[in-house]
């Protein structure tokens, strides 16, 4: 009975990281690409916006396959936090 409960909780955490973590990471990475690509604004916008859905799909399919959900959350967190810190620093005038 305990092993079934542990397995069920692992499955729930895998679904949760795919449903919650993947879209946040994909949107944050796309926003970072829009802001920091060295192209003209319309081209950077097109590349950034069109990269969100494929990145979301790849993350949603691959995150549940990782051996540890801690690694999956760290991956999603780093893909979310790094662009957001860079965007905040750029908005505050700390980055050119």
Average pLDDT of the chain to the nearest whole number: 88
How many domains, the chain?
1
60 closest CA partner among 88, 92, 19, 27: 19
Please spell the DSSP secondary structure of 17-57, one letter per residue: IIIIIHHHHHHHHHHHHHHH-SS-HHHHHHHHHHHHHHHHH
pLDDT, tens digit, for every residue of 21-56?
A: 999 999 999 999 998 999 999 999 999 999 999 999
| pLDDT given at position 2 | 60
Q: Say yes or no to pLDDT of 9 above 90.
A: no
Provide the domain limits for residue 16: 2-92
Residues 6+ apart with CB under 8 A from 13: 69
Instruction: Tell the residue number behind the tokens 């944050």, with chain if given.
Output: 28
Q: Are 17 and 71 in contact (CB under 8 A)?
A: no
């Amino acid at each position: 009975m305990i092993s079934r409960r542990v397995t069920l909780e692992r499955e729930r955490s895998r679904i949760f990281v795919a449903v919650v973590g993947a879209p946040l990471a994909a949107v944050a990475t796309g926003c970072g690409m829009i802001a920091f690509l060295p192209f003209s604004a319309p081209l950077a916008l097109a590349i950034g916006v069109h990269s969100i859905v494929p990145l979301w799909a790849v993350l949603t399919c691959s995150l549940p396959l990782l051996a540890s959900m801690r690694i999956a959350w760290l991956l999603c967190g780093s893909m979310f936090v790094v662009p957001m810190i860079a965007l905040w620093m750029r908005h505050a005038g700390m980055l050119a």
